[in-house]
């Protein structure tokens, strides 16, 4: 674990930025690509409001998680691990691991699809390559947090350009965007997509991770109120910039699909979307899109493995080396690829799984950040905003269950 080279109070504010960019990369993973493109291609601008709302929710939630780490010097998994009895800790860890596995599934499959689009590599070989490269990225995290952050930021820039370049050739309809900001659905499938988009935007594993990221970056045990306030200010700026970029990418993906892919056959899959983009906007745009997808998979799967490691360390009080964990968590994704299950369908379902995992991260976060452990920094008005966000997300999941069961009846 790297430690800060100077005290936070002696650094320029810009030098304190970085942790939120690692968190933000998880918000632009291949699961987002599948969910947002499926939404835009199928329903046009209908679900723009879901992404806009979810991104604002994500900013609030990630700030709460980061604030927890700065004030207490402990991560959310650590605090839960201290408070829960052994059986409950194991059960809680298991659900968090399922969420992390769903995340990893989306990221490995997305990277494998990108390699196939770019080089014709078989999906299984592509999955192995993505896993190996992500393992190399994780080794930089183990030696230097700042190096890892900088690599992730470079990847975020590439992802942003790769996914938004097409908008210059197929600009969205402003009236359609305005209409998409009005909350509404059109049938059960639009609810499933909305839940998928929400699961891809408010990420449970990154809620667990962000409190660890700020500790690794800024150190723990700060008692000087001036230092804490400075770190909290830097964190707010960090989150607004990083998640603002992630939100722009997510909404841009939906707008690109709505403007360039709506009504085209087969555009509800990543491969179909790539083919349609290449046909409508030219092969160069298709290649740029595939490069963005590749870097999305590489970066986000590294962050996912990092998050899973922090959850295990906090909840079970032991840690597996990151490269070993990376190797183990590759297995489910490679099995899915080997069984030739439709990649885009697997990505969308993985995001629905993430959506169901959100309350298990959100509710404890609200309880802890609004509790005595935060001292004078405990949330007050922000706590109730967090409660409302949690209720909205849980409510959407209930609607999803009911509508899915009715559709199968």
Give the tens place of pLDDT for each residue, 49-99: 999 998 999 999 999 999 999 999 999 999 999 999 989 999 999 888 888
Q: What is the mean pLDDT of residues 163-178?
A: 94
Inside any domain, residue 253: yes
Alpha-carbon distance 265 to 275, whole Å? 10
Inside any domain, residue 8: no
Positive or negative CA dihedral for 226, 75, 352, 133?
positive
The mean-pLDDT minimum among 118-132, 211-225, 347-361, 371-385 falls in 347-361
Inside any domain, residue 313: yes
Q: Higher-confidence residue: 365 or 7?
A: 365
Inside any domain, residue 376: yes
- Two tokens at 41? 């291609």
Q: Specify whether the CB–CB gap between 69 and 333 falls below 8 A.
A: no
Q: What is the pLDDT of residue 4?
A: 53
CB atoms within 10 A of CB 191: 20
Task: Return the biggest CA–CA distance within the chain.
Answer: 63
Number of structural domains in the chain: 1
Q: Specify whether the CB–CB gap between 105 and 22 falls below 8 A.
A: no
Q: Is the pLDDT of residue 408 over 60?
A: no
User: Among residues 364, 153, 167, which one has the least CA distance to residue 260?
Assistant: 167
Q: What is the pLDDT of residue 174?
A: 93
Place of tokens 């609004």: 370
Q: What is the CATH number of the domain that holds 399?
A: 1.20.1740.10
Structure confidence by residue, pLDDT tens digits, 19-33: 999 999 988 888 778
Which helix (H) or strand (E) segment holds residue 390: the answer is helix 381-408
Inside any domain, residue 319: yes
CB atoms within 10 A of CB 331: 12
CB atoms within 10 A of CB 239: 25
Q: What is the pLDDT of residue 37?
A: 86
Q: Is the pLDDT of residue 198 over 80?
A: no
What secondary structure letter does DSSP report for 380?
Answer: S
Q: Specify whether the CB–CB gap between 63 and 208 falls below 8 A.
A: no
Inside any domain, residue 4: no
CA distances from 398 to 253, 292, 356, 393 (A): 27, 34, 9, 9
Burial of 189 (C-beta count, 10 Å sphere; 0-12/13-18/19+) = middle
Inside any domain, residue 2: no
**Three-class SS state of 319:** coil
Q: Which residues lie below 8 Å from residue 241, measured CB to CB, with a gap of 6+?
A: 17, 20
What secondary structure letter does DSSP report for 171?
Answer: P
Structural domain harbouring 178: 14-406
CB atoms within 10 A of CB 227: 17
Alpha-carbon distance 35 to 14, whole Å? 33
- Two tokens at 278? 């290449």
CA distances from 335 to 3, 51, 181, 332 (A): 38, 31, 39, 5
The mean-pLDDT minimum among 91-100, 241-250, 264-273, 277-286 falls in 264-273
Alpha-carbon distance 379 to 370, whole Å? 5
Burial of 244 (C-beta count, 10 Å sphere; 0-12/13-18/19+) = middle
The answer to pTM > 0.85 is yes
Q: Is the pLDDT of residue 353 over 90?
A: no
Inside any domain, residue 198: yes
Alpha-carbon distance 281 to 228, whole Å? 49
Structure confidence by residue, pLDDT tens digits, 129-163: 998 998 888 888 666 677 888 889 999 999 999 99
């Amino acid at each position: 674990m790297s430690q800060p080279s100077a005290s936070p109070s002696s650094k320029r504010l810009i030098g304190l930025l970085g942790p939120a960019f690692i968190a933000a990369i998880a918000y632009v993973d291949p699961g987002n690509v599948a969910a947002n493109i499926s939404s835009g291609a199928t329903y046009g601008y209908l679900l723009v409001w879901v992404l806009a709302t979810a991104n604002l929710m994500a900013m609030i939630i990630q700030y709460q998680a980061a604030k927890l780490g700065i004030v207490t010097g402990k991560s959310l998994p650590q605090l839960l691990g201290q408070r829960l009895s052994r059986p409950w800790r194991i059960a809680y860890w298991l659900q968090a691991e399922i969420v992390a596995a769903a995340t990893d599934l989306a990221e490995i499959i997305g990277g494998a699809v990108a390699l196939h689009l770019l080089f014709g590599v078989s999906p299984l070989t592509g999955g192995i390559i993505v896993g190996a490269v992500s393992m190399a990225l994780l080794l930089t995290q183990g030696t230097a947090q700042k190096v890892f952050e900088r690599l992730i930021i470079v990847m975020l820039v590439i992802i942003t350009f790769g996914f938004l370049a097409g908008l210059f050739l197929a600009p969205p309809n402003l009236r359609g965007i305005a209409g998409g900001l009005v909350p509404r659905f059109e049938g059960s499938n639009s609810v499933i997509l909305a839940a998928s988009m929400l699961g891809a935007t408010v990420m449970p594993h990154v809620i667990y991770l962000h409190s660890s990221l700020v500790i690794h970056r800024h150190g723990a045990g700060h008692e000087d109120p001036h230092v804490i306030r400075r770190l909290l200010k830097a964190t707010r700026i960090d989150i607004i910039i990083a998640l603002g970029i992630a939100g722009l990418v997510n909404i841009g993906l939906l707008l690109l699909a709505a403007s360039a892919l709506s009504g085209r056959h087969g555009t509800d899959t990543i491969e179909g979307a790539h083919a349609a983009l290449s046909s409508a906007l030219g092969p160069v745009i298709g290649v740029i899109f595939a490069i963005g997808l590749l870097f999305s998979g590489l970066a986000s799967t590294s962050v996912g493995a990092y998050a899973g490691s922090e959850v295990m360390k906090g909840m079970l009080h032991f840690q597996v080396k990151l490269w070993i964990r990376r190797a183990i968590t590759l297995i489910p994704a490679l099995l899915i690829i080997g069984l030739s299950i439709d990649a885009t369908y697997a990505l969308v379902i993985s995001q629905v799984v993430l959506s169901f995992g959100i309350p298990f991260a959100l509710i404890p976060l609200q309880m802890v950040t609004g509790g005595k452990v935060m001292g004078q920094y405990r949330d007050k008005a922000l706590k109730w905003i967090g409660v409302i966000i949690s209720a909205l997300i849980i409510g959407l999941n209930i609607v999803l269950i009911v509508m899915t069961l009715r559709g199968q009846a």
